[in-house]
Structure 1
Amino acid sequence: MVFPRRASWRSLFPLVLLTVGAAYALGSWNWCGTWAERAPVLLSQVKGEGPLRAGAAKVALAPPFPVVVAGYSPPRPEATQSDPPLHARAVVLEAGSSRVGLVSLELLLVTDVVTARVREHAKTLGLQDVLVLATHTHSSLGGYDSRLVSQLVGTGRYREDSEATVVAAASAALGQAASALTDVTLELGEAKESSYVYTRSGGTAPDGTLTRAVLRGGSAPVAELLFFAAHPAMVPRQRAYVDPDYPGRLSTLRESEGSGVTLLLQGAVGNASVAYSEGQGLERVSGFARALSELAGKAPLASAGPSVRLSLARAEAVMPRPDASRLVPAFTRAAGDNLLCSSAERVAEVSALVLGPLELVTVPGEPTVDAGSELVRRTGASGVLGLAGGYVGYVETPDLVNAKGGESRRQYFGPALLERLGVAAELAASTAGFTR
């Protein structure tokens, strides 16, 4: 019997070349199509003024173990426990005819799907609108974002039970806060320590300002809002526990000292990381939380008066076409664009919140300090909050995007991103009644 000669690699080379060429051509096809442009659209508005009432609550965010630890690219550890525990914290505010909620989740990011589901539940509580924000913790649970790019680069394989856990915790915290409304006064202050933060990729560094808003009921605080800007990326990457990083430790520490339910909300943080060297490992994380708590205690407080403005306006920005030119080699640019398009939302939400003298713009991503400054210039805001109502990645200034500098090397969209968000922010701010 005669057996056929085994095909040599040389005879297979044309087939391999043809297959690779076909895959390259398929991946390079413009699957994104054209992305429509239009003016931003106002989604909602709530506005009131009068004596302030508030309620606050925190609820355990209990992951469906075992669960992937989100925050970094693979390989990612899988956790079977949380240490310290994760939480969802909520504050409900009421003034005049306005009743709105703020929810802070100890997560890497929040999605528009999670935000929409939390808002649906909030309607049953009599809330007119809700802001949902993430602390940006790089060591929390993953699996709750169904977008392919997010699964690949940050949150791991999507699981319905992870998403349901996040929604349930946020909704429960809102419900408990809404049922605990009481008369409060608003007190504001700020303190600064520039040595706690530094710039990672060029551009302007955060100045280390911590803004403190205290909602005081009688002699005891009901809640405390802390606005700060620094990446919570201090927990070791391969630790097989979910962990709230310094935001969770800071909130728990403040609560144990009688500050009421404490929410840590991230400012213009995209190009900042924590720079603090006390201790090693988890000791370093706890040390930074203690340092921030001491800084908050140094913030001199001033009353906002007996009558408080409370308004929240949300606007929808149309997103520019995704742009992978800074993320992948030039010859794979088209394929990179297609991958981003498969996960990118065509619209994003920008909000404007007024709480007494505070006039804040929120964006669904990580604005750098320079991008935040541009949003402040355009809207007259007293500050910018990131990681609210969804996630579109980093937001850098057009000049740095064109120069491939700053955080633009991690930005999913082209130089038009900040302009699109800025126009929507102007609409939200004017509707909310910014005075600056």
Structure 2
Amino acid sequence: MAFLRRVPWRSLIPLMLLTVGAAYSLASWNWCGVWAERAPVVVSQVRDEGPLRAGAAKVALVPPFPVVVAGYSPPRPEASQADPPLHARAVVLEVGGTRVGLVSLELLSVTQELVARVRARAATAGLKDVLVVATHTHSSLGGYDSRLVAQLVGTGRYRQESVDAIAAAAVESLAQATAALTDVTLEVGQAREPGFVYSRSGGAAPDGTLTRAVLRGQAGPVAELLVFAAHPTMVPRQRAYVDPDYPGRLSSLREADGSGVTLLLQGTVGNASVSFSKGQGLERVSAFAQALAALAGKAPLAPVEGPVRLSLARVEAAMPRPDASRLVPSLTRAAGDNLLCGSAQRVAEVGALALGPLEWVAVPGEPTVGAGAELLRRTGATGVLGLADGYVGYVETAELVKDRRGESMRQYFGPALLERLVVAAELAAGTAGFTR
């Protein structure tokens, strides 16, 4: 330090420039390597038809307190308790000799690591396959995603204890649901309230459709599946509690009303935000959950007669090379690509789930309404499930990505992303026996 004080600062300028230039060159080097392109491949398929049985369970998801509250960029509050509590909810479906599990976790997202752990444990309980989804709650616990970009922008520092707690709750919910299997009938319906949602970034607007599927046993509803699309970002950002936002409150309200274990599944949530003005703060969250619960109760139900078809196919697709061109200044584009490449999934799974007349494509990210429309058009599906079996970020239409509009300003990949997922979804839908 004494030496530096004796050196005229102007003489250090070339050294500083050289250091900055070297750092820039190093960061701009192509560290991504080659991202191989290949056709999608089927990795799992189960399919049967006959009488339907189902079991459901709700298990507390207890974080390893204290935990960071996930959902936003820093600074993030640290929570020492949950209010209301978090849960893992599971439904196990059985037709013939085929058992399929569906787990909904009150989290921001799910990771490939977490999904693999849940499936491995579920297989020992006789389940042929499992679909793991997140409610996309922006006020739940973090620390479960080891990828650097995820830690920086949403989930906070990785902690193995968080992964363990989440996996334990998911596995226990599947075990309890399997133990509760009973004969059920299937009823489906829809309701719509366009005033509940709006598009936060342009593009195709959400229409507020809520799809409802009821699995009814002799003693009453065993479970209820609700598909809706709106970002759970209603809880104040700096609240130092983990909180399930409106999905957890909605499920609890429906369960208290006798609807069985209720799973809220996000649809084309990419550009869908809540439009609801009654109340402030947490009162607004509860009021919206009550309004959505009432909408679900108004959905007219039609029974599904005869044998029920159950199928689930999963397809692995190679992801395109990450593209940070819309996320960072042009001079740091290469460095941005390198950062994304170290955290982005090179492969992703797309699923196709058929339950009676319901045919859902499951996507590992946040598809916008426009992206969802393309998935429906190309696969013949009746709906799209987001935040399923991993997370590749936002999924916008190629046109809007090229124009740098819509949710493309948050998308980690270039305009080829949607087409990669659509082609995989077409294969999954065909394998699952979609009826288009």
TM-score by length of 1: 0.99
How many angstroms does 1:218 deviate by? 1.3
Please name the residue that 2:315 is paired with: 315
CA distance in 2, matches of 1:179, 1:121: 15
1:160-175 correspondence to structure 2 within 5 Å: 160-175=160-175
Name the amino acid aligned to 2:176. Q
- Structure 1 residues 224 and 12: CA distance shift in structure 2, 3 A: same
Q: Offset at 1:232?
A: 0.4
Which residue number corresponds to residue 288 of structure 1? 288
Partner of 2:132: 132
Secondary structure (helix, strand or coil) at the match of 2:186 reads strand
For structure 1, which runs of at least 5 residues remain unmatched after alignment? Answer: none
Q: Which amino acid aligns with 2:43?
A: L
Deviation of 1:12 (Å) = 1.6
Structure 1 SS opposite 2:273: strand
For residue 15 of structure 1, what is the aligned residue in structure 2? Answer: 15
- Please give the secondary structure, in 2, of the residue aligned with 1:343: coil
State the alpha-carbon separation in 2 of the partners of residues 430 and 195 from structure 1: 35
User: Equivalent residue for 2:242?
Assistant: 242
Pairwise CA distance, 1:97? 2.6
Structure 2 SS opposite 1:101: strand
Measured against aligned partners, the alpha-carbon deviations of 1:248-285 in whole angstroms (never above 9, x if no partner) come to 00000100010000000000010011110110000000
- 1:41-190 to structure 2, matched below 5 A, reads 41-190=41-190
| Letter paired with 1:305 | E
Q: Distance in 2 between matches of 1:4 and 1:254?
A: 69
CA positional deviation for 1:33:
1.1
* Structure 2 counterpart of 1:332, one-letter code: T
In structure 1, the partner of 2:32 is: 32
- Give distance in 1, aligned partners of 2:4 and 2:119: 68
Structure-2 separation of matches of 1:5 and 1:159: 43
Deviation string, structure 1 residues 36-64 (Cα, Å, up to 9, x no partner) = 11100000000000010000001000000
Tell me, in whole angstroms, the C-alpha distance in 2 between the residues paired with 1:145 and 1:387: 14
- Letter of the 1:70 counterpart: A
Corresponding residue for residue 338 of structure 2: 338
| Cα deviation digits, residues 212-235 of structure 1 (max 9, x gap) | 000000141000000000000000
Contact 1:45/1:431 (<8 A) preserved = yes
Query: Residues 177 and 5 from structure 1, CA distance in 2 versus in 1: closer, same or farther, beyond 3 angstroms?
Result: closer
CA–CA separation in structure 2 for the residues paired with 1:207 and 1:151: 33
1:6 and 1:202 mapped to 2: Cα distance? Answer: 59
**Letter of the aligned partner of 2:53 in structure 1?**
R
So what's the TM-score if we normalise by structure 2? 0.99
Deviations 1:99-119 (A, max 9, x none): 100000000000011000000
Q: Residue 356 of structure 1 aligns to which amino acid in structure 2?
A: G
**Tell me, what secondary structure is at the counterpart of 1:270?**
coil
Displacement of 1:328 in angstroms is: 0.2
State the SS of the aligned residue for 1:300. Answer: coil
Alignment of 1:371-382 (within 5 A): 371-382=371-382
SS at match of 1:151: helix
Once residues 95 and 4 of structure 1 are traced to their aligned partners in structure 2, the CA distance between those partners, rounded to angstroms, is: 77
CA gap 1:3/1:148 in 2 versus in 1, 3 angstroms: closer
* Alignment-mate amino acid for residue 221 of structure 1: P
Between the two proteins, what is the percent identity of the paired residues?
78
Asked whether the 8 Å contact 1:308–1:355 carries over to 2, the reply is yes
| Residue pair 1:56, 1:92 contacting (<8 A) in 2 also | yes
Runs of 4+ more than 6 Å apart: 2-5
Compute the displacement of 1:8 (Å).
2.6
Map of 1:208-247 to 2, 5 A cutoff?
208-247=208-247
C-alpha displacement at 1:307, in angstroms? Answer: 1.1
* 1:233-272 correspondence runs (5 A): 233-272=233-272
5+ residue gaps, structure 2, are none
Q: Which letter does structure 2 place at the counterpart of 1:214?
A: V
Aligned residues: 435
